[in-house]
Amino acid sequence: MTAVGATQGRPVIGLSTYREQAAWSVWNMSADLLPSVYTRSVEAAGGVVVLLPPQVEGMAQVVSRLDGLIITGGADVDPERYGQMPHPMTKVRRDRDAWEFGLLDAADRVGLPTLGICRGMQVMAVRAGGSLEQDLPDVVGHEEHAPGGNSFGWTSIATREGSRVRTFVGDRVQVSCHHHQSVLSHPGFEATARAADGTIEAIEDPERPFWLGVQWHPESGEDHGLFLGLIEAASGVNARA
């Protein structure tokens, strides 16, 4: 890994970002951005952050310079990717879909430790051939997972015994969440955490050291073990470089 020497052994973690219309100072224009709680969480866990804005190509070149990858939260995955028509509440971002599916393809080929957060978990599931529930309140009958606006919800989750996610966050934890969709099917993954209403809250590939997704937002809560786990796995990449 070329990044190892430049960062004195600290693993380099790439985070996917949004391309949005944004306002700051005297400017109002398209910008590549990500809430800083993500980057601060990775830095606090011991990683060096690289932001990855949506691009048309170059996924393999980007991944070759990383020690770990985070697919972050955001807009909905295009339901055409799992053979459904869009729900009225579904809001897609095809630029992010193309970029993040490509990043996962490249990360998969080299065995890069990868964490999916919220949308990121859904991207991982759909890429594997899975499907999503497009509007979760229709199914569970409440809005606990996404109370609306810019507010986060809080829900209690239970992790599965023997799972990697349990080693990172414990058997039961209150988590911060903001999602109106959820994973229904997830080929190649095991569901390793659920909310009380049955919503899948974590998936992981049992055949890989670190290839997992969580439906909640650990960067906005107190469950920092996921970032520490990713950094530990990414440091293993450093050790082999």
Strands (E), 8-99: 12-16, 18-24, 27-33, 48-52, 68-71
pLDDT tens digits, 116-129: 999 999 999 999 99
Length of the chain: 241
pTM metric for this prediction: 0.93
Residue 145, pLDDT score: 86
Q: What is the mean pLDDT of the chain?
A: 91
Would you put residue 224 in left (φ > 0), alpha (ψ -120 to 50) or beta?
alpha
pLDDT reading at 161 higher than 80: yes
pLDDT reading at 241 higher than 50: no
User: What is the dihedral angle through the alpha carbons of 165, 210, 179, 15, rounded to the nearest 10 degrees?
Assistant: 140
CATH architecture for the domain at 3-240: 3-Layer(aba) Sandwich (3.40)
Query: Is-catalytic flag, 224?
Result: no
pLDDT reading at 100 higher than 60: yes
Domain boundaries, the chain: 3-240
| Alpha carbon separation from 84 to 98, 120, 188, 189 (Å, rounded) | 18, 19, 21, 21
150 vs 212, residue with greater confidence: 212
- Per-residue burial over 67-97, b if 16 or more Cβ lie within 10 Å, else e, is bbbbbbbbbbbbbebbeeeebeebeebeebb
Cβ atoms within 10 Å of 142's Cβ, excluding its own: 11
Query: Is-catalytic flag, 219?
Result: yes
pLDDT reading at 240 higher than 70: no
Query: Is-catalytic flag, 144?
Result: no
pLDDT tens digits, 7-34: 568 999 999 999 888 998 999 999 899 9
Which of 145, 161, 219, 222 is labelled catalytic?
Answer: 219
Measured CA to CA, the distance from residue 125 to residue 132 in angstroms comes to 8
| Alpha carbon separation from 32 to 13, 42, 96, 175 (Å, rounded) | 17, 18, 12, 27
Which of 118, 177, 186, 201 is labelled catalytic?
Answer: 118
pLDDT reading at 136 higher than 70: yes
